[in-house]
């Protein structure tokens, strides 16, 4: 089996030939990519803010519950101490 080189135009692959760049199409594609990236960054920022707000809400609820428990405990101790101190 012998390999031969055929330099005729028929042998040239079309993928190797370069067509001129359409600047309008390139601009539209570039703008579309930039808008897509900015949109993705905006959605990511929004999602992170929602997660942070959820953590803050949880902390506030936990703090409010702890304050209520401490108030009830203080009232209970106050009643207990009031009974012991008064003759």
Instruction: Write down the pLDDT at residue 81.
Output: 78
Measured CA to CA, the distance from residue 14 to residue 60 in angstroms comes to 66
Measured CA to CA, the distance from residue 83 to residue 87 in angstroms comes to 8
pLDDT above 70 for 14: no
Strand, coil or helix: 60: helix
Query: Among the ranges 6-10, 14-18, 21-25, 48-52, which has the highest mean pLDDT value?
Result: 48-52
Q: How far, in Å, are 42, 52, 76 from residue 39 at the CA level? A: 5, 20, 56
Question: Which residues have CB under 8 Å from 67's CB, separation 6+?
Answer: none
Instruction: Write down the pLDDT at residue 55.
Output: 97
pLDDT level of residue 10 (50, 70, 90 thresholds): low
């Amino acid at each position: 089996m012998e390999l031969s080189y055929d330099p005729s135009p028929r042998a040239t692959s079309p993928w190797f030939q370069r067509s001129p760049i359409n600047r309008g199409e390139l601009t539209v594609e570039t703008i579309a990519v930039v808008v897509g990236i900015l949109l993705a960054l905006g959605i990511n920022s929004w999602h992170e803010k929602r997660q942070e707000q959820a953590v803050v809400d949880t902390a506030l609820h936990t703090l409010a519950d702890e304050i209520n428990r401490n108030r009830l405990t203080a009232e209970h101790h106050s009643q207990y101490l009031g009974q012991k101190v008064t003759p």
